[in-house]
Structure formats: structure tokens, C-alpha cells
């Protein structure tokens, strides 16, 4: 199946709308060491390094299939020590929405000021995007 930009925008918007679902608190981006679990929804693997509270709403409307995180940079303090391996986004009720292993300091799905996190030191979340696939789906 091939999709139009309108469909790509709807796909990206649908994904990020789930981030704002729930009522218990802020949506959260968790950063862990290592690799994401093989099956989505499994318990996190690796060491939890840092938690970023996301704004509400977390993302702007998608354009050309890409939704961009609002309110960046977002600062947080390291809770663990190590190198970022993957990110998990939780909705406002702490339910997992999606994982990504594309974490880095430039041009990544999740972009931070550094991928090396230390306990008690500040790290900035500088950008994040959710991209619906182009072309054949």
C-alpha cells in the first residue's frame, strides 16, 4: 500500500495523540542504557538514566508525516549513569506508547545535549520527532 501525505500526517498525529492520552500526570520520555526489548510492551531493559516530563500537548500537528515535540529544550537531572541506548515514551497514565533506539545528539528521533548521563547532572532534551513512513507501507 502506498499512502498520501495526508495519510502520513494522520498516522503521525494518531501516534502522538496517544502520548497525551490519560489523566494521571505528564507524559514522560524515559531514557535507558542498552537496547529496547525485542517485543514492544515488555518490561524495560537496561538502566533507567533519565526521565523527561513532556508538555501537554507533547507534539505539534504533523507536516509531511512528521510530528515535532513542543517546548524544547526540556531539562532533567540524571537518575542513573551510562550511555543512552533507547527511549520509551509513556502516556499520562504511564502506559507505554512507543520505543525508539534512534537516540543521539544530532538529527536523531530523540536528540539530547549528551548521550552520556551521570547521576545528578542536567541533560537537555533538545528535539524529538515521530515520523510516519513514506512510500509503501
118-123: average pLDDT? 98
Out of 11-25, 58-72, 75-89, which region has the weakest mean confidence (pLDDT)?
Answer: 11-25
Q: How many domains does the chain have?
A: 1
β strands within 54-112, DSSP E: 66-68, 74-77, 82-83, 86-90, 96-100, 103-104, 110-112
pTM of the model: 0.93
Pairwise CA distance, residues 48 & 43, whole Å: 12
Per the CB < 8 A criterion, the answer to whether 130 and 20 are in contact is no
Per the CB < 8 A criterion, the answer to whether 13 and 67 are in contact is yes
Asked, for residue 136, whether it belongs to a domain, the answer is no
**CA 75 remoteness from chain centre:** 14
Instruction: Categorize the per-residue pLDDT at 136 as very low, low, confident or very high, splitting at 50, 70 and 90.
Output: low
> What are the angstrom distances between the C-alpha of 90 and each of 26, 41, 59?
9, 11, 14
Q: Which domain holds residue 109?
A: 5-131
Given this model, what pLDDT does residue 2 score? 83
127, 124, 28: which is closest to 78 by C-alpha? Answer: 124
Given this model, what pLDDT does residue 81 score? 98
pLDDT at 130 over 90: yes
Instruction: Categorize the per-residue pLDDT at 137 as very low, low, confident or very high, splitting at 50, 70 and 90.
Output: low
Amino acid at each position: 500500500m502506498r499512502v498520501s501525505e495526508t495519510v502520513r500526517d494522520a498516522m503521525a498525529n494518531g501516534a502522538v495523540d496517544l502520548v497525551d492520552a490519560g489523566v494521571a500526570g505528564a507524559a514522560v520520555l524515559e531514557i535507558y542504557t542498552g537496547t529496547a526489548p525485542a517485543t514492544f510492551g515488555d518490561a524495560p531493559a537496561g538502566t533507567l538514566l533519565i526521565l523527561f516530563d513532556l508538555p501537554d500537548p507533547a507534539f505539534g500537528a504533523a507536516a509531511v508525516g512528521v510530528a515535532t515535540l513542543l517546548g524544547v529544550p526540556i531539562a532533567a537531572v540524571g537518575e542513573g549513569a551510562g550511555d543512552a541506548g533507547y527511549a520509551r515514551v509513556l502516556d499520562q497514565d504511564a502506559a507505554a506508547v512507543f520505543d525508539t533506539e534512534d537516540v543521539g545528539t544530532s538529527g536523531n528521533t530523540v536528540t539530547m545535549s549528551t548521550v552520556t548521563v551521570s547521576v545528578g547532572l542536567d541533560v537537555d532534551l533538545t528535539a524529538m520527532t515521530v515520523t510516519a513512513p513514506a512510500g509503501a507501507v
